[in-house]
Amino acid sequence: MEATGMPLIGDKAPSFEVQTTFGKIKFPDDYKGKWIVLFSHPADFTPVCTTEFFAFTKRFDEFEKLNTQLIGLSVDSVFSHIKWVEWIKDTLGEEVKFPVIADETGKIGRLMGMIHPNKSQATVRAVFFIDPKGIIRAIIYYPPELGRNFDEILRVIKAFQIADEKKVAMPANWPKNELVKDRVIVPPASDVKTAKERLEDKTIECYDWWFCHKESN
C-alpha cells in the first residue's frame, strides 16, 4: 500500500487491511455493494468526538436502511477504541454498532489525507463518501474544534442515491431548496432538439431550457 497522493472525488478508494474494534477488515472489499461513510476523528475520550459518535449511533438505523456502512478511524489504539465505545454504551446508553479503525502509525490517515500537519498530528474530522463500486463521491473536512452536522451526512447519502437512480442533480439545500423545494434538477439539454422538447415536456417544469426540474419520485 503506497500513497501516491491524497485520493480525490472520482478516484477508486484505496485498498488496505486494518485492525478495528470488529476485528481485521479488508477495505473496501468487505463492503462491496454498500455505500460507505469512512470518517476520522481526532481522539478517543474527547468531548466533541464523543458527541459525534453519539450522533452517529443515534442515526445508525437510518444509515443501515440506506445500505450504508459506517467506519470510524483515529490514530488511537484498538484497546482505547474498545474502552471508549464501552464507555459510550455504559454512560450514554448507545451502542456503537460500526467498526472503528486503529490507525496507530497514521499510515491510513496520511494515505487518505486525514492528517493535516499544520492543524494537528492526529486525524482531522474527515468524511469520505464511497459508492457501492468503491468510487469516492464526496469528501468533507472539519477542523478538530468543529463537530460535524450528521443530518448533512445523511442528506448526502440520500441525495446521491436519488441522483444515481433518477439520473438527476440535486439543488442547493435539497430537499428544502428555496426555488424548487424538494424537486430535483433535470440535466441541461445538450442540443437544440432536446432544448425545445424540454419546454414542451409536461412532466417537468422549466425556468428556461437549461434550468428544468421535476418530482423526485
Which run of H or E residues covers position 17?
strand 16-20
**Cα-to-chain-centroid distance, residue 166:** 20
The set of cell numbers assigned to 79 is: 484497546
The count of other CB atoms within 10 Å of the CB of residue 202 is 5
49 included as an active-site residue: yes
Task: Tell me if residue 40 falls in helix, strand or coil.
Answer: strand
Instruction: Give every strand in the sheet of 205-208, ordered side by side.
Output: 184-186, 211-214, 205-208
Cα of first residue to Cα of last residue in the chain, in angstroms, is: 42
Torsions phi, psi for 32 (to 5 deg): -55, 140
Angle, to 10 degrees, between the axis of helix 150-166 and the axis of helix 47-58? 40
Question: What DSSP designation does 4 have?
Answer: -
Give the DSSP H/E element, type plus range, for residue 18.
strand 16-20
Burial 58-77 (b: 16+ CB within 10 A, else e): eebeebeeeebbbbbbbbbe
Identify the active-site residue in 13, 18, 49, 184. Answer: 49
Question: Could you list the active site residues?
Answer: 49
